Amino acid sequence: MFSSPPDFDRELADLYRQQAEEYAQALQVLRELPAVFAAGAHPDGPMHRLGLIMARVSSLETSIATVKQAWEQLERPASDQLQRAIQRIRALLIELLPLISSAESEAQTAKEKLLPQLSDEARGQRMKHAYGAASRPT
């Protein structure tokens, strides 16, 4: 009895669909960030979720690379299913890249606003420490 050859095309399309789901989740998180920054809130929650999503994308990339290499060795054209999955990834990346850039800019702006406050706080702490040491009897 013969076993059927692996369907690398289908497997690759499935992996790309999984990756697209992760990118769609990343889009959702990135769309929340402007409101978080506008409210002056710390973006720990969304950034943590984004990190988890990107870790799953990275894991999928490893699987995709393996299957893609096997698929390429077959030298067959991509099925409609695979082409659709690739197009979906491409469309999501086109949406993601500007949002990532925007989030990066907003984070930089928030950091620049925070630096003077941190500097003032550190100076205040040093002054308290210096005055406290000067007022202690020797």
Structural domain total, the chain: 1
pLDDT digits (tens, 9 = 90+) for 92-123: 999 999 999 988 888 787 777 766 666 666 66
Can you give the residue range of the structural domain that contains 14? 8-135
pLDDT above 60 for 53: yes
Q: Is residue 41 part of a domain?
A: yes
Full-model pTM: 0.75
Residue pair 64/18 in contact (Cβ under 8 Å)? The answer is no
pLDDT digits (tens, 9 = 90+) for 15-31: 999 999 999 999 999 99
With cut-offs at 50, 70 and 90, classify the pLDDT of residue 12.
very high
Q: Is residue 88 part of a domain?
A: yes
Structure tokens at 37: 């920054």
CA distance 75 to 47: 40
Q: What is the model's pLDDT at position 97?
A: 94
pLDDT above 60 for 3: no
Q: What is the model's pLDDT at position 2?
A: 47
Q: Is residue 46 part of a domain?
A: yes
DSSP readout, 15-73? HHHHHHHHHHHHHHHHHHHHHHHHTT---HHHHHHHHHHHHHHHHHHHHHHHHHHHHHH
Gyration radius from the chain CA atoms:
25
Q: Is residue 3 part of a domain?
A: no
Q: Is residue 1 part of a domain?
A: no
Let me know if 76 is exposed, middle or buried by CB neighbors in 10 A (0-12, 13-18, 19+).
exposed
Q: Is residue 2 part of a domain?
A: no
